[in-house]
Chains A and B, each alone.
Chain A
Amino acid sequence: EPEVTQTPSHQVTQMGQEVILRCVPISNHLYFYWYRQILGQKVEFLVSFYNNEISEKSEIFDDQFSVERPDGSNFTLKIRSTKLEDSAMYFCASTELSPYNEQFFGPGTRLTVL
């Protein structure tokens, strides 16, 4: 059964460093998303991506964040200069172009900023 994959499963970085979180969405899906979950808090929407451009972004998704689909299979989230408060679980999701919006989620990447 097709699934969304994410790498790495756990990333530890120093404050101020750049990190890239990688996702491989399901191959025939067209909409891609990043969400994050800070420990003990709710899952929050960061950004949606369609047709090689951002469809919508939240107020969390500031200039430190960027997304890219570099090669037609990967979907990446880059944080340019990490802060302590960026420590969270980051989930990638994808969906077919459908009105029913069943989003399929990856297992997540736990980012720890020291």
Chain B
Amino acid sequence: AQSVTQLDSQVPVFEEAPVELRCNYSSSVSVYLFWYVQYPNQGLQLLLKYLSGSTLVKGINGFEAEFNKSQTSFHLRKPSVHISDTAEYFCAVSDLQGAQKLVFGQGTRLTINP
């Protein structure tokens, strides 16, 4: 069974500052890794995913994440945030086989202050 831990429930940052949202996972097998974003009153939207290959993956809206197998982490970063990045961010993992359900972390609320 897998589990995902997002260490920060809330992260406030100023506009144009860099941000890192932390995610650690636990699994006895190889997994796919994902970051989803949820804007107010909307569904979950995929930001980026790690399947294999390069450990640095780039996603939409200038976000990127780095897979670190030894630390079982998949932290999300953006060098300069905008007001429009205010949202809830979810880290998730899934098995490589089968129905591939997503196992989510608790979410991190990113608040951008002007």
Chain A residues within 8 Å of B, Cβ to Cβ:
4, 31, 33, 35, 41-45, 48, 50, 55-56, 58, 91, 93, 95, 99-108
Contact = CB atoms under 8 A, between A and B. Distances in A.
A106 B51 contact: no
Given A48-B99, A101-B100, A42 B51 contact: no
Contacts of A101: 32, 94, 100, 102
B43 A42 contact: no
Interface in B29-87: 32, 36, 41-46, 49, 51
A91 B104 contact: no
A47 B3 CA distance: 17
B96 A106 contact: no
Task: Give the bracket for the number of chain B residues in contact with chain A.
Answer: 20 to 34
Q: Is the interface of A mostly helix, strand, loop or mixed?
A: strand
B26 interface: no
A105 B44 contact: yes
Which of B41, B42, B102 is packed against the most chain A CB atoms within 10 Å? B102
Contacts of B44: 43, 91, 93, 105
